[in-house]
Structure 1
Amino acid sequence: MPASPSTARAINDRLALGLLSEGPLTANQLKQLTGLSRPSVADLVERLQGAGLITVVGEAGAQRRGPNARLYGIVAGRAHLAALDVRTDSVRVVVTDLLGAVLAEDCAPIGGDTGTAVERALTLVERAAREGSAQRLHTVGIGAPGLIDPATGDLHDTSSLPAWHRRLAGALQQRLGARVLVENETNLAARAEQRDGAAHDRDTFVLLWLGEGVGAAVVLDGVLRRGASGGTGEIGFLPVPGTGALPSATGCEGGFHSLACAAALRELGAEHGLLKPDMSAADVVRHAVEAGEGAFLDAVADRVAVGAAAMAAILDPGCVVLGGEVGRAGGAALADRVTDRVTAMSPLRTEVRAGTLGGAAVLRGALLAARDAAQDELFGPPAGR
């Protein structure tokens, strides 16, 4: 059944807005990219201008006889967004316009009792919003450690996370009146690496997060998989040889976490004589790459490959991205070593790549989630979603 005229207009408007989100275009460029007729594009432009969604942002081309073509662009100030990277004891926030242009950034340690910690986090977001001249935030994306309930979108109540983490989303929504989205940090990192980083050409891959803790995000056929309880990718709990213990329902010590977390890699660096005061695990790995410390990198690869090979054997993703600051610090030197080991352990061809965004991937992913949600609400969902 053909679409009704109103449905067809909505589809065409959303298509045009999606194209304009990537940068300003002339009416003729919109005609070429959408395949619409010139009168249809003229009507579309008039509708979107009348709705306050697009405006003239300049002119195209060099001066010529007659007027230059008008360039149309999204009204970026139509909505303001915020993204938060919530750590165990700190929060980083960025405020942007509807197109993702950064207006303000801030970060601060967060501590104290639950009420005090929540208030400090709220104050941080409000301050960043003021600095970005955002009178009202439309959507806030939050990246946090822990499991996200797929039914409610809330953080699971676990003893390993501060209580203020679970209070923050509700407090932001109540104080700011904004739509608040919460997602697991590793899932957001995968989203960012797929949009802007090492997995930009993959619709099926696994991101293996190497940070203070370890985790994984699973993207199959372009869809992020969360599992029945939101726990897909909780690879830190994977029982592995070489740890001398088994993980439990209340702690991942003894699992893959104990092989590849930051503390374990720092300890490994100390055994190789590479650890200096105040060096993070990423610092140790980066120093080893720069100094050509192959023995240490081989030992790290041996550990990381255990988790990568497990994901490859179960999911056959074809690509594993080593995310987080350790993955970026190791670069190709570490990724190639892990590839060799996974190849030796599994008949399934698996390429291992170094993540390019490091720890910044969480904040970037939270921003992408907020931006997509806001644009879907203001523009209408893309066709097929």
Structure 2
Amino acid sequence: MPASPSTARAINDRLALRLLQDEGPLTAGRLKQLTGLSRPTVADLVERLTAAGLVEVVGEAGEQRRGPNARLYGIVAGRAHLAALDVRTEGVAVLVSDLVGRVLAEASVPIGGDIGTGPAVEQAVTLVERALKESGADRLHTVGIGAPGLIDPATGELRDSSGLPAWHRRLVAALQERLPEARVTVENETNLAALAEQREGAAVDRDTFVLLWLGHGTGAAVVLDGALRRGASGGTGEIGFLPVPGTTGLPSATDCEGGFHSLAGSAAVAALAREHGLRPAPEPVPGEPAAAGLVRAAVARATDAAGDTPDGTRDGTPGSAPGSGLDDASGRFLDALADRLAIGAASVVAVLDPGCVVLGGEVGQAGGEALATRVADRLRRMAPLPTQVRTSLLGGAAVLRGALLTARESAQAELFGGH
């Protein structure tokens, strides 16, 4: 049965809006090419969407073209404003953007462990309000939050988890109370990082991969056949609890101490660096795990001393033999770290066969190709399944990017749903 004229118009409008979301501003001619619709049909839908306040002329295509055919149409960026939050144990970062994802304001604040729940929530909410004011927007349509811990798949709420500050769970309700017109959603931070790496980072060509998060803590996100997998209780990827050799005990249901976290968390990586005689940078990056700076410095020293290329292989030039002292120690540290990471990665590969593991988070990004190559070498010996190991392109920023992407999708789906 053919669609009615009104249904056909709605389908065409949604198709055009999706193309403008994915491709950015387009001319009417380009819309005609991409949709396969006739020129009059495209002209009608552009007129409808413009009248509805969803699309506007944002420029012209090329300096040599003028007139109606050269007009570039884009989504009305100011139709809604969004906020993305990265909530960590030690602080909060926020950005505010327009509907097309252009960042208008950014801010962050550290939140100490000795501060009470109420003051911590107030600091975080005030940070969002300040960023909103600095952006020039008067209100938020959608707020996307990335937080550590489990997300209940039935309710979409952050579950009560031991070891996490109480203010994490209170923050969602507080934001909803102070910003009653905004839609507030929360997602596990590692899941958001994987989404960002798939859309904008190291996994843009992959529909199946695992992100191994290496930051203050450890985690994993699983993307299979293009879909993020959360599990029956929302706990897919809690790799910090994975029992592994080389620790002093076993993890418990309430504490990941003794699990993979004890080998690959920031504190464990920093301790491993100290065992190899490495010391923290004199001026660490604010908010970055100490381990990231140590790994970054070790990569630089080992590469310089050994004449390595960035992927850890010899360049064959004179003087490319291993160095001595601290530089040799840096190489040994990276080897030992790769040994640890390969244990967790091999477990994931054996169960899921993802074909690709992305070393994410600040530590994964700091390790670069030198660390990824070392982990890949070990995986080839430990696992029978071929697996690429890639370096995160977004690092710790992936959580905010993922939160913004989900907020944009949610807002655009609601605003464009009737068109």
TM-score in same-fold range (> 0.5): yes
| Cα offset, 1:186, TM superposition | 0.3
User: 1:61–1:68: 8 Å Cα contact kept in structure 2?
Assistant: no
Aligned residue for 2:63, secondary structure, equals coil
Task: Specify the alignment match of 2:306 in structure 1.
Answer: none
The reply to whether residue 321 of structure 1 matches residue 325 of structure 2 is no
Structure 1 gap ranges (5+)? none
Amino acid at match of 2:254: T
Q: Does 1:378 align with 2:381?
A: no
Paired with 2:47 and 2:105, the residues of 1 have a C-alpha distance of 33
**For residues 221 and 337 of structure 2, what CA distance do their matches in structure 1 show?**
20
Q: Classify the secondary structure of the residue corresponding to 2:155.
A: coil
Q: Output the CA distance in 2 between the equivalents of 1:132 and 1:153.
A: 28
Equivalent residue, structure 2, for 1:156: 159
1:121 Cα deviation (Å)?
1.1
Q: Deviations over 1:16-64 (max 9, x none)?
A: 1122223211111111111100111011001101110001122223346
The alignment partner of 2:263 has SS state of helix
Which residue pairs with 2:297 in the alignment?
287
Residue 6 of structure 1 corresponds to 6
Pairs within 5 Å for 1:211-222 = 211-222=215-226
What is the alpha-carbon distance in structure 1 between the residues aligned to residue 177 and residue 14 of structure 2?
A: 30
CA distance in structure 1 between the partners assigned to 2:9 and 2:336 by the alignment: 59
**Count of residue pairs brought into register by the alignment:** 382
d(CA) in 2 for partners of 1:54 and 1:141? 24
CA change 1:381–1:230 in 2 (3 A) is farther
User: In the aligned structure 2, how far is the partner of 1:70 from the partner of 1:360?
Assistant: 35
SS in 2 for 1:359: helix
CA RMSD between the two structures? 1.6
Matched residue, 1:165? 168
State how far apart, in whole Å, the 1-side matches of 2:418 and 2:103 are: 24
Q: Secondary structure at the match of 2:141?
A: strand
Preserved contact between residue 301 and residue 338 of structure 1 (Cα < 8 Å): yes
Partner in structure 2 of residue 350 of structure 1: 387
* Distance in 1 of aligned mates of 2:90 and 2:413: 33
C-alpha distance in 2, partners of 1:275/1:222? 41
Kindly tell me: are residues 269 and 162 of structure 1, through their superposed partners in 2, closer, same or farther at Cα, counting changes over 3 Å? same
Please list, as runs of the form range in 1=range in 2, the aligned pairs for 1:45-56 lying within 5 A after superposition: 45-56=46-57
Residue 110 in structure 1 maps to residue 111 in structure 2:
yes
Q: TM-score, normalised by structure 2?
A: 0.88
Structure 1: which amino acid aligns with 2:158? Answer: L
**Counterpart of 2:57 in structure 1: which amino acid?**
V
Q: Which amino acid aligns with 1:7?
A: T
Call closer, same or farther: CA 1:63–1:357 in 2, change over 3 Å. closer
- Does the CA-based 8 Å contact 2:141-2:411 persist in structure 1? yes
Do the aligned partners of residues 84 and 64 (structure 1) sit closer, same or farther apart at CA in structure 2, a change above 3 Å counting?
closer
- Corresponding letter in the other structure for 1:38: R
Corresponding position of 1:224: 228
State the Cα distance separating 1:3 from its structure 2 match: 3.4
Given residue 176 of structure 2, which amino acid in structure 1 is its aligned partner? Q
Amino acid at match of 1:50: A
User: Counterparts in 2 of 1:114-129, with a 5 A limit?
Assistant: 114-129=117-132
From the superposition, tell whether residues 381 and 227 of structure 1 become closer, same or farther in structure 2 (CA, over 3 Å): farther
**Structure 2: which 5+ residue stretches go unaligned?**
285-289, 303-329
Output the amino acid matched with 1:288: A
CA distance in 2, matches of 1:133, 1:67: 32
Contact 2:345 2:379 in 1 (8 A): yes
Whether the aligned pair in 2 keeps the contact of 1:191 and 1:365 (CA below 8 Å) is yes
User: What corresponds to 2:349 in structure 1?
Assistant: 312
Q: State yes or no: 1:138 paired with 2:141.
A: yes
> Amino acid of the residue matched to residue 301 of structure 2?
A
Separation in 1 of the partners of 2:260 and 2:95?
32
SS in 1 for 2:366: helix
SS at match of 1:56: strand
Q: CA deviation at 1:277?
A: 6.3
Output one character per residue of 1:333-370: Cα deviation in whole Å (capped at 9) or x when no partner: 11111111111111111111111111000111100010
1:250, CA displacement in angstroms? Answer: 0.9
Letter in 1 for 2:13: D
Q: Return the offset for 1:138.
A: 0.2
| CA distance in structure 1 between the partners assigned to 2:264 and 2:6 by the alignment | 55
- Give the secondary structure class of the aligned counterpart of 1:153: coil
TM-score relative to the length of structure 1: 0.96
Aligned positions of 1:195-210 closer than 5 A: 195-210=199-214
Cα contact 2:14–2:417 (8 A) shared by 1: yes
Q: Does 1:246 align with 2:283?
A: no
Q: Residue 295 of structure 2 contacts residue 363 of structure 2 at CA under 8 Å; is this kept in 1?
A: yes
1:187 is matched with which residue?
A: 191
Match of 1:18 in 2: 18
Q: Which moved more, 1:105-114 or 1:63-72?
A: 63-72
Stretch of structure 1 that moved more, 8-17 or 88-97: 8-17
SS for the counterpart of 1:6 is: helix
Q: In structure 2, give the amino acid aligned to 1:214.
A: T
Relative to 1, partners in 2 of residues 1:303 and 1:46: Cα closer, same or farther, differing over 3 Å? Answer: same
Q: CA deviation at 1:159?
A: 2.3
Aligned partner of 1:98 in structure 2 is 99
Deviations 1:238-260 (A, max 9, x none): 00111020000110000011011
